[in-house]
Amino acid sequence: MPEDEKTYIETSLEEIEDEIVNLLESKQYIHARELLLSLNEADVAEVIGETENRLGIDMAIILFRMLPKDESADVFSRLSPDDQTGIIARITDKEINFIIDEMDFDDMIDVLEELPANIVDKILAKTPHAERRLINTFLNYPEDCAGSLMTPDYITLKPEWTVGDALAHIKRVGMDSETVYTCYVKDRGRQLLGIVSLRSLVTQDPDVPLADLMVEEVVFVNVFDDREKVMEFFTRYGFLAIPVVDNEKRLVGIITVDDILIAIEEETTEDIERMGGVISSGDREYFDTTILGQVKSRLPWLLLLMASAMFTGLVIAHFELQLAKIPSLAIYLPLLMGTGGNSGSQSSTLIIRGLALGEVAPRDAARVLFKEFRIAIITAAALSAVNMAKIMLLDSRPLLIAITVCCSQMIVIVLAKCLGGMLPLLAKKVGIDPALMAAPFISSLTDTFTCFVYFSLSTMILAYI
């Protein structure tokens, strides 16, 4: 291996990005190209995106045009939507057509879904009629269904063929297919009959009929199945690809593991954003989202949570006389509210994760409630014992104050954990994303309960002070 290539491999990507940017700024394009071509396609896409952020889209296009033609399509499919749009808007129609023609079909659909409508129309206008119809069919599938993830580039075999026929066919069309590891046997009506793995083909005699070799018990998904179901199938069975059929069980495409990994990342990102009280911003990265876009994704939840906090204020105002009589009650209110919110968030986080992985289902509500109740009792007893000692020994408060605070704490923890465990299951049951029942929502809800429980108990227990 040449010494300069070894140096590039041992250098971090961030350092390479900095060096390429410096070379472009000093107009040393030949050296910048040499350094760029030492990277793989994924890293090249990241370098181009960083160049666009630091030097502008025009310099990023110069870098993109330095790529060999056979690499440009793959790199383009890995760019962010904003970078793709910027490049498409500035390169020639010939370059656009080449990129679209060279991209895998599923990558092309992903790109077209993100581009503005006027640019998509511009691309489709130069696409052959048959291909344009196929593209429009895929673009019209709902975003969250299996059809939006699939590709039509797969290998199909006929049941009357032999192993030798199948291998010859794979040699002819394999390079244009998404995968050759699993082949699909279908009849003249395009109905899926079975699957044959490449392993079984290369280990059998050439004259063995495919009808004797294919596996007829095929796991498949419907074209309109939710992509969460597809993720569950890939996780459960460990597939590299899964066939997609229509309502008549006709094979219309396959979904490969690389596409489902992207979908899993998008679903996980969406869940994390919702659990943090942020409306999903799609697959745009943090720095690719505008200030106004970030505000729009955050402000609605903050307004909703602020409105829920108003109920907490109303509860406190209702017990204003009690607070005026015993001001020390206010000292322990933040402790109780924090403990309640944290307890509920723990439970909701675990249940949301369980729902996402298929470990928990709405039918398990009774089991979840019973388990969370037992966890809450033990947790509440331990925390209340520590709090009792602290109030009595360190704060030197009266016994009735300590009893009020600790009893309230126990009730709040039990309520919070039970709510945290049950609300995600209820959301799933009624068709709402369980991630919405995460920390911000649970904390706001338990705050109101905490104030009500605390002041109600204090009114009863401290009536004799």
DSSP 47-71: HHHHHHHHH-HHHHHHHHHTS-HHH
For residue range 14-35, list pLDDT tens digits in order.
Answer: 888 888 888 888 888 888 888 8
Q: How far apart are CA 171 and CA 63, in angstroms?
A: 36
DSSP H helical ranges for 145-213: 163-173, 198-202, 210-213
Q: How far apart are CA 100 and CA 124, in angstroms?
A: 10
Which is nearest to 230 in space by CA: 155, 153, 148, 156? 148
Residue 318 pLDDT > 80: no
Q: How far apart are CA 291 and CA 202, in angstroms?
A: 56
Which is nearest to 150 in space by CA: 123, 184, 201? 184
| pLDDT class of 319 with cuts at 50, 70, 90 | confident
CA-to-CA separations, 77 to 113, 151, 309, in angstroms, rounded: 12, 15, 45
The per-residue pLDDT for 460 is: 81
The per-residue pLDDT for 368 is: 92
Across residues 212-224, what is the average pLDDT? 89
Q: How far apart are CA 307 and CA 147, in angstroms?
A: 40
Distance of CA 306 to the CA centre of its chain: 27
Across residues 78-88, what is the average pLDDT? 79
- Most confident segment among 224-228, 378-382, 456-460: 378-382
Task: For residue 3, give both structure tokens.
Answer: 């010494």
Across residues 445-461, what is the average pLDDT? 83
Sign of the dihedral defined by the CA atoms of residues 387, 388, 390, 396, in that order: positive
The per-residue pLDDT for 152 is: 84
- pLDDT more than 70, % of the chain: 90
The residue among 287 and 444 whose pLDDT is bigger is: 444
CA atoms within 13 A on the CB side of 36: 30
Q: Average model confidence (pLDDT) for the chain?
A: 81
Sheet with 221-222, side-by-side order of all strands: 221-222, 241-245, 251-256
The per-residue pLDDT for 5 is: 45
The per-residue pLDDT for 2 is: 46
Residue 385 pLDDT > 90: yes
The per-residue pLDDT for 250 is: 87
The per-residue pLDDT for 3 is: 45
Q: How far apart are CA 27 and CA 297, in angstroms?
A: 40
The residues, any chain, with a CB within 8 Å of residue 449's CB and separated by 6 or more, are: 340, 412, 415, 416, 419
Task: For residue 378, give both structure tokens.
Answer: 């033990």
- pLDDT more than 90, % of the chain: 11
Sign of the dihedral defined by the CA atoms of residues 415, 421, 422, 426, in that order: positive
The residues, any chain, with a CB within 8 Å of residue 350's CB and separated by 6 or more, are: none
Across residues 138-158, what is the average pLDDT? 84
Q: How far apart are CA 426 and CA 134, in angstroms?
A: 40
Q: How far apart are CA 333 and CA 341, in angstroms?
A: 12
Question: What's 288's DSSP letter?
Answer: G
CA-to-CA separations, 429 to 103, 355, 405, in angstroms, rounded: 40, 11, 36
Q: Locate tokens 């905490």: which residue? A: 450
The residue among 137 and 413 whose pLDDT is bigger is: 413
Count of positions (residues) in the chain: 465
Which is nearest to 281 in space by CA: 265, 299, 264, 269? 269
Domains and their CATH numbers in the chain: 3-140 (1.25.60.10), 156-256 (3.10.580.10), 286-464 (1.10.357.20)
The residue among 325 and 331 whose pLDDT is bigger is: 331
The per-residue pLDDT for 373 is: 93
Residue 410 pLDDT > 90: yes
| pLDDT class of 248 with cuts at 50, 70, 90 | confident
Q: Which residues are 276's β-sheet partners?
A: none
For residue range 256-301, list pLDDT tens digits in order.
Answer: 888 888 787 777 777 776 666 566 555 566 566 677 777 776 777 6
| pLDDT class of 107 with cuts at 50, 70, 90 | confident
Which is nearest to 372 in space by CA: 272, 442, 271? 442
